[in-house]
Amino acid sequence: MALIANFMIGIFDSGYGGLTVFKEIEKTLPQYDYIYLGDNARAPYGDLSQELIYNYSRQAVDFLFAQGCELIIFACNTASATALRRLQQEYLPVKYPGKNVLGVIRPMVEAVLELGPKKVVAVMGTKSTVDSGAYINEFANLDKSIKVVQEACPLLVPLIEASKEKEPQTKEILKVYTNDLKQCNPEVVVLGCTHYGWLWEEIKNNFSPETIVLESGQVVAKKLFQYLQRHPHYAQISDNPSRIFLTSGNNKKFDLAAKKFLGREIKSQTVKLN
Ligand code: DGL
């Protein structure tokens, strides 16, 4: 198969959460061009209907492929849980044959299993991700013996989008969300929402020191690295790799949040998604 020229990877999330994934992907695979797209104007997705999440995710896919992306990563559990399979099975083969969109849920489940035998795994996620049962199904496909306990945490994404991770109210809310999970003595807690990476430390403090709290960034970066090795036609690298940041929301606000998280200045542009 011929090498793909100007190989560009699109990274999509409803908002800032996917930056936790982009940061690790960029560290692991700096040689590629990236476009990050945050649908901040319509975030959070977590309480929306499955149909709406599907439609918004499809619009993001159309947008990113139109920008020249060859591969898209849904750095969003909510879109991965509710829209990804349908897009992969029904939409991509017809509209974009040969192009692919990858999600975060399967890599996270595989990463837990790679940690060795586990009895109880806790998943924290948006209402939509939890209701979809995507994590329960994915674990059941790979290892039926694991008990999966879940907690929907609908207040966390709005707090993170409003940059309130360090506020006392966020700590109090986290205690409520983690209390029941803690009673189940999970060996691993899966942060089943890419926004929660911003709260990794605060969440970790709510569980026993032995509990592993797994966030998507490093896991997805490693799995993408492996995927690209298995698909060598994507091997084309850029001489001068570009980073483009796009948001459907306020670009100044996006730049501030990105600076806080990525530790460097970026200049995003506002785009319209429809
Ligand atoms: N980062 C998204 C996820 O991983 C956030 C979902 C939302 O917008 O509610 O699920």
Chain segment 3-25, per-residue pLDDT in tens:
555 689 999 999 999 999 999 99
Classify residue 69 by burial, with Cβ atoms within 10 Å: 0-12, 13-18, 19+.
Answer: buried
Question: How many A from CA of 1 to the centre of ligand 1?
Answer: 36
The per-residue pLDDT for 101 is 98
The architecture that CATH gives domain 105-216 is 3-Layer(aba) Sandwich (3.40)
Q: Which distant-in-sequence residues (6+ apart) come within 8 Å of 264 by Cβ?
A: none
For the annotated catalytic residues, the residue numbers are 76, 193
Which CATH code of 3.40.630.10, 3.40.50.300, 3.40.50.1860, 3.40.50.720 fits the domain covering 8-103+218-270?
A: 3.40.50.1860
Q: What's the rounded mean pLDDT across residues 251-274?
A: 94
- Taking the C-alpha atoms of residue 35 and residue 68, their distance in angstroms, rounded to an integer, is 10
Q: What's the rounded mean pLDDT across residues 168-193?
A: 97
Percentage of the chain with pLDDT > 70? 97
Fold match flag (8-103+218-270 vs 105-216): yes
**216-230 vs 19-28: helix crossing angle, rounded to 10:** 50
pLDDT in tens, 78-124: 999 999 999 999 999 999 999 999 999 999 999 999 999 999 999 99
Pocket test for ligand 1, best of 12, 13, 80 (most atoms within 8 A of CB): 13
- Taking the C-alpha atoms of residue 137 and residue 130, their distance in angstroms, rounded to an integer, is 11
State whether the beta carbon of 81 lies less than 6 angstroms from ligand 1. no
Question: How many A from CA of 75 to the centre of ligand 1?
Answer: 9
Extents of the domains making up the chain: 8-103+218-270, 105-216
Predicted structure pTM score: 0.94
